[in-house]
Amino acid sequence: MCQLLGLNCATPTDASFSFTGFCQRGGATDHHADGWGIAFFEGRGLRLFVDHQCAAESRMAEFLRSYPLKSRNIIAHVRKATIGDVRLENAHPFSRELWGRHWVFAHNGDLKDYQPRLHSQFQPVGTTDSERAFCWLMQELAKSHAGLPSVEELTLTLRELLPQVRRFGSINFLLSNGDALWAHCSTKLHYLVRQHPFTQATLMDQDWTVNFAELNQPGDRAAVIVTTPLTRNEQWTAFEPDELKVFVDGLPVEVA
């Protein structure tokens, strides 16, 4: 299985602390050594970095840890290959355009014998079940809405679509269009919200403690979503099985 990391923030924020601990799981403290990737939204722009090498030893990952980019929505992934060879085209996150916006998707889980019918606009480049699921979701969202709908409408549509994918196996995923971040849990996913009054946090996978009170202003806020908690001294909340959450401005948003 793979591991996921997402940040949804009220103000542009760098992911260097979380990304540093997360990268150790890509071949150092864990066995997810079959590629990695990270995507940063900047307004309507997108910076996407992927590599088929392990994150713990990647020179590109080292560069990004030392040269942090700030964003309000960040999605990262370290891969343990189950379906699809270890190739660059199979590295997550994946990106597609819909309604004139970049969409980014990363997946953890296995979808057995999953071969959805895909039309010409959304086709996989690689051979993973994850990219096929992403293409199908984009296709069905495009069929359901004539233009970019609200975050609430998108959340309701995703809720209707997900059972059609879920019956093929597990689909833990992160999805963003730069406005919001959607997180779905089939088996395991956790989140926390860092906000004023900020405290210290210590990574589990590396000896590094940060006092966020020294780095943040009262208006800063960040939701961190991850497969397995990254820090040892913060309160993480586990998702319920088959729960879909959407995060906006660093907070989970309730959609009835």
- For 4-36, the pLDDT digits (tens) are 999 999 999 999 888 888 877 755 565 545 788
Query: What digits encode the pLDDT tens for the residues 193-244?
Result: 999 999 999 998 788 898 999 989 999 999 999 999 999 999 999 999 999 9
Fold of the domain built from segment(s) 3-253: Glutamine Phosphoribosylpyrophosphate, subunit 1, domain 1 (3.60.20)
> Mean pLDDT across the stretch 83-97?
83
Structure tokens at 169: 């196996």
**So where are the chain's domains?**
3-253
Query: What digits encode the pLDDT tens for the residues 63-76?
Result: 888 888 999 999 99
Question: What sign results for the dihedral spanned by CA atoms 176, 228, 12, 89?
Answer: negative
Query: What digits encode the pLDDT tens for the residues 136-191?
Result: 999 999 999 999 999 999 999 999 999 999 999 999 999 999 999 999 999 999 99
pLDDT bracket for residue 82 (50, 70, 90)? low
Does residue 54 register a pLDDT over 90? no
Q: Can 185 be counted among the known catalytic residues? A: no
Structure tokens at 24: 């150790």
Is pLDDT larger for residue 24 or for residue 101? 101
Pick the catalytic residue: 2, 9, 54, 135? 2
219 phi-psi bin (left φ>0, alpha ψ -120 to 50, beta other) = alpha
Q: How far is it between the farthest Cα atoms of the chain?
A: 51
User: What is the pTM for the complete model shown?
Assistant: 0.94
Return d(Cα 177, Cα 122) in angstroms, integer: 16
